[in-house]
Structure formats: structure tokens, C-alpha cells
Amino acid sequence: MLKTPVTLAIALALATASLGLPAEPAQAAATKESAQAMNPFFQPSPLPLQYPQFDKIKDSDFAPAFDRGMADNIREIDAIANNPAAPTFDNTILAMERSGQLLRRALVVFFNLTGANTNDALDKLDAEYSPKLAAHNDSVYLNAKLFERIKTLYNSRDKLGLDAQGVRLVERYYTDFVRSGANLTEAQKTRVKAINSEMATLTTKFSQNVQDEVNDSAVIVSDRAELAGLSDQQIAALAESAKDKGFPGKYRIALLNTTIQPLLPQLDNRALRERIHKASVSRGSRGNQWDNRAVVSKVAKLRAERAAIMGYPNYAAFGLAEETAKNPEAVNRMLEQLAPPAVANARKEGAVLQAMIDSEQKAKGQPSFKLEPWDWAYYTDKVRKAQYSYDEAELKPYLEVNNVLENGIFYAVKRLYGVTFKRRTDLPVYQEDVQVYEAFNEDGSQLAFVIVDPYARSSKRGGAWMSSYVDQSALMGTKPVVAFHLNVTKPAAGNPALMTWDDANTAFHEFGHVLHGMFSDVKYPYFSGTNVPRDFVEFPSQVNEMWSDWPEILANYAKHWKTGEPMPKALLDKVLSASKFNQGFTTTAYLGAAMLDQKWHQVSADKLPDADGVLAYEAKALKDVGLDYAAVPPRYRTTYFGHIMGGYAAGYYAYIWSEVLDADTVEWIKNHGGLTRANGDRFRAKLLSQGGSKDALQLFRDFAEQEPDIKPLLERRGLTTQP
């Protein structure tokens, strides 16, 4: 291969160093320049669709890319702000859309990796650069000259000869600048900058504390007998995990991010269930180096102060102003409508579980005990077996990960949208378990790359999520590169990766986000893919869940991993008939978290507790709204509630808000033929492809031709009548 001058310069420098000879100044300069040129972020990736060069990216590449990216971006912004020509859509708005490309390339890879495959070096960089990036953001959005140009365009937006998407882009830029503080006094801007910097540091610390403590809080079991109820494969995986972490001969039960842990339905040993639950709920509040109480208190107060500076009574009012809900009162009305029947259902379910406990203990000749949170999943599984004659373990052999993905999700996408997927093994990945697929439209044209990351590991945050590496944009000439993350337990070598029913449903859900990003067909990067209001973004993904148990789809993927036999119809019928079973628990746990989120964000700073009062504040908040049923704790406790320290602050309600639209849409699709190309093409054209280019609720109306109605949601969750 012919060496380029850059490569040759590096080779000469290495040769000189190995000989121990002093480099000439010109050589030293060339070496520095060449090393910088080798940074994979300094130019767009040469791989197809600008797919990241994971095989070339090193941890040491990020800081230089951030520094140069911010400097380049400031020069671009200054050139726009100081342009002597009168502001136009092209020289101001589109110039901003095109700016910051180097910084974006580095940031999207960095934040994807800190979520999916972090390490100490990346965590250190995250902590170091979070306040710097916040300051950089402020330097853009608080640039007075730039805002004046945007304001001028905003005031004449209907006279610029723009199409609807162009007018909306001007409006969104203006609103973003105002909400960032562009209209504030200089003293207020100075305080907002300080708040933003401190919050960036604190929220990064919070997320790192959660991740580090999850890894440290794994429950170690010495006696195999304590694991009664688990399969041999599960026990082997726990043993392997313990060995990998320095506990040979023991068993390691890693915690996931939610309150309720996945092994609780199976473990017969009540004392071990209690250990696991208490390890889970005490995270972030143990007084150790990962204690998050002070962080939570400070962030909540800073958010409230910032909202007050912006002219809002509390952070929720500020945060919701640009969502489809518009204000806290609308959120409260919906949550308050759902809470009483949900808790009533949960208490009824709890009474059934308590009766089973009493009966079992009496049969053993032992005293009964009160139902506790660590008992709920275990006895729910027993009730499910008794009432519906199946348990979750019966389903897992039919839910092998690759089968669910390729013969379930991909099959549904092909049936609905004509899209096909092909595995790519020639593209680099950031971790050995990661897979890459190329998506094609029905006419054979290239659509997107999808990065699939299925397994849990200590370097990966909990939960499941979709993210983007490259956004679609006609302006930039880019197609999507999106990622799909799950946290399925990786099996011991030689064993299949089996999912629970909830895992499979979650996979369909997250792939709904993938479709939202993959089908984007907009002009401007600002509107691409999932760049929609927070309380709308979950809607398309929740719609995609409907296909997980659609008979034709299920029959294609729910096959025994060893024999290939399809899931028996009788078992499927039991699953479907039990679909509303335990919905009281599920809804109450979710609403507990959603209400906590609102309670932290619907008050002024002086009403919020200091660190020592965080847990008492949480307990009172749940009691005040009637969600203090001890047997059903919130899905997340405050001190490990990562959503509200990140992008879902005052917005965790979004899942059930979106589910109203989802339930309506599912009814529409069922009433119009179900699994058809016509329905898929309509959903793609009218909603999935539009991104944020139109008002979110108008997109729903365009598809469903009606206003949202909460009744289908209440019926789905079994909340139409008080139990």
C-alpha cells in the first residue's frame, strides 16, 4: 500500500525516536500535526453512512476532539453572529444547522460509549468535560448578536418565502434561545451559566454513582442451595459472573436499574429475596461514596432556581411548556385519574397474594407472614401458575434472543414496511457481542445501519434504549446509523440467551424507537428521527409493542431454541388471557415513580429538602398522592432514578401520556386490518418519517383522524372499573 505523507511523517518520527536521536523542530511539528490528523473525529468517517471507526477510536482521541470541536464551533458561531450581511434563513439558521460537525461526531460516540461500554478513562472525561460542554452551550445560546439575528428572522418568518418546515425551524430556534436565557439581564445570564455548569457536574456524578454502585452492590451467595428455584443454566451464569469478578466458587447476582429485580419470581429462599430487594432499594442512600441524596437535593433546588429566573413558578412548569402536556396541571389530572383505580387493583392483587401466603404457611404448619415487596413477584408467579396454569419459565425456551430479533422484530418490519435486514460483519464494533445490520427499503435502496447490543455487562448502564450515531437529514445528505440496546443476561458459554416475556416485549418497544430514527425523512437535522417532544417520543415505540404477541408474528419467532417447535397455542392463550394480570402492581409502581418526579419538580426551591430529608420527602410525597402501598414500591426510588437526573426531568409521566396515543393507535390499526402494508406505510408516511417537523399531536391526528381518548388505555390496563 502506498504510504500517504501523513503516515510517512509518523513512520519517520517513530524511526528517529527508536534510534534515540533528537528530532528536528520541523520533524516535531510534522509529528504533532500528523498525530492530530490521525484523530478519527477530525474528518467525517470514511466508512459507509459515516459509520463510526470504532477500530480506530481511542479514549485519548476524545479530549482533543472536544477541544478542537468547541473551538471550531465558536469560530463558526462568531462568523454567523458577526456577519455584516442582513440575517437570512441561509446565512443564519441553515448556517447554524451545518455548524459544529466535528464536536457532534465526537460527542455522539462518546455519550453512546459512556452508556454502553464505559470505563474509568471515559468516566473521568465525562466528569471533566460536562461543565465545559455546558459552558460551551451557553456561549452559543446566550450570544446576544446571534439571538438578534434569529429574533429578526422570527419576527418576519411568514414573509421569508419558506415552506412549513422552514418556518417551524425558525420558530424552534427562537424558542430554544429564549428558553436558554437569551432575553435575560446580564446578571441573570451569569447566574444561569453558573447553574448550568454546576448541574452538568452533578448530574454526571449522579449517573456515575448509580452505575458504580450497581456493580458494587451485587449480592454474593456462597451456598448453591440458597438459589433453589433457578435453572442450572441460570446458576452457571451466576457462578461465571462471580468468577469473573474475583469470587470463585460463589454466585453473583448483579442488580439491574429498577427497584424490582428479575430473579425474585424464581427464588424460593425468602431471606435471599429480602437481601436482594434491600440491596436494590438502598442504592444511593447508604452513606457511602455513591450516596446521591445531596446530589438530588442540590439538582432539584438548582432547577427550581433556574426556572424562577426564567419566569416560571417551578421547574415542571418550565419543563412542560414545550411538551404536548403544556403544563403540570394537565399531567396531574391524568395521573390522578389513574392512581386510585391502579392502587385499588394493586391492593386487591395483594390480598390474593396474602391469601396464598397464609394458605401455604398453614399447610406447612408454620406461622404466616405479611406480604412484603420482595414477596410480590414470587407469589405473583405462583398465582399465575394457579390461575392460568403457566409460569414465566415456561416461556423462556421459546424466546431466544436472535430468534426474537431476526424472526420476530425484523419479520414484523418486513411485513409492515417491506424493509429487510442483512448482517454486516465487515464493520468495526466497540464490544465483541455487538452486531451490525444493514436495512434496505423494498426497492433495494439502502436505508440505515442498526447497531444491536443485546447483553448486560458491568460497563453498560441498566435498562434498554435506542440512540443515534448519525441522524438522517436531506440538508446534510446523511442517512441514519442508530443503535439498539438491551440488557439481557448473557448465558454461560454454550448456552442459549433466553429472554423473559417482558424482555421480548421491551425489545419490540425499543425497536419502535429504532424505526422512528430509521424512517426519518426530513430536511433539517433539528427535526430528525426521535427529536420530538419528550411526552411524544415513547408513542411510536409503544405502538410497536403490539406486534410482539400478534399471532402471525409470534408464530414466526416463538420457537423452542433446541427443538424448533413453536410455542404451544394453549400456552400462548394463557399468556394473552393473563395480559391484565398484575396490572395493578405494574401501574402503581410506574405511577409512584411518575408522581415522585412531579413532586420533586412542582415546588419552589425553598420547599425542597436538604440531603438528610430526601427519603422523608419521598415518603411524604407518595403518601400525599395515595401511592404509599408498602408492598408496591415505586419503579425507581429517588436516589437511583436516572431518568429524572437526565432527559426526563419532570417528564417521566411521558410513558403513560404516550400510551394514551398508543392505545388509540393500536385500536385504529386493529380496526383497519391489522398487520398490513397499507397500515405500515400509512404509519411510516404520516408519523414515523416526519420526526419533529410538525406539531406532535397533529401527527397523531393525521394518522388516526381523531382526538386522543383515554378509554382504550384504561381498558388495556384493566382500570375501567374499581375492583
- Positions annotated as catalytic residues are 510
Strands 446-455, 435-440: pairing is: antiparallel
- For residue 446, list its beta bridge partners: 440
Instruction: Reduce the secondary structure of 534-590 to three states and give it as a string.
Output: CCCCHHHHHHHHHHHHCHHHHHHHCECCCCCCECCHHHHHHHHHCCCCCHHHHHHHH
Phi, psi of 153 (to 5 degrees): -65, -40
Q: How many C-beta atoms surround the C-beta of residue 695 within 10 A? A: 15
**Other CB atoms within 10 Å distance of the CB of residue 82:** 11
C-alpha span between 400 and 59 (Å, rounded): 34
Distance CA(619)–CA(79), nearest Å, equals 52
Distance between CA atoms of residues 43 and 501, nearest Å:
43
What string of H, E and C letters represents the secondary structure of 413-472? HHHHHCCEEEEECCCCCCCCCCEEEEEECCCCCEEEEEEEEEECCCCCCCCCEEEEEECC
For 328, residues 6+ apart whose C-beta sits below 8 A from its C-beta are: 314, 316, 317, 320, 598, 602, 650
Say how far apart CA 176 and CA 190 lie, in whole Å.
18
- Which residue, among 450, 399, 405, has the nearest Cα to 424 in the 3D structure? 450
For residues 32 and 94, the answer to whether their CB atoms sit within 8 Å is no
Whether the Cβ atoms of residue 76 and residue 95 lie closer than 8 Å to each other? yes
Sign of CA pseudo-dihedral 392, 398, 401, 404: negative
Of 563, 429, 370, 314, the closest CA to residue 52 belongs to: 429
The rounded distance, in Å, linking the Cα atoms of 565 and 558 is 9
Between CA 562 and CA 451 the distance in angstroms is 27
Q: Write down the residue that cell numbers 442450572 correspond to.
A: 232
Return the residue matching grid coordinates 382500570: 719
The DSSP secondary-structure symbol of 57 reads -
**Is 436 in contact with 427 (CB distance < 8 Å)?**
yes
CB atoms within 10 A of CB 385: 15
Closest CA to 56 of 70, 42, 76, 72: 42
Hey, what amino acid is at 568?
Answer: P
Radius of gyration of the chain (CA): 27
Contact between residue 200 and residue 131 where contact means Cβ atoms under 8 Å apart: yes
Instruction: Sort residue 648 into left (φ over 0), alpha (ψ -120 to 50) or beta.
Output: alpha
Residues linked to residue 439 through DSSP beta bridges, in sequence order = 421, 448
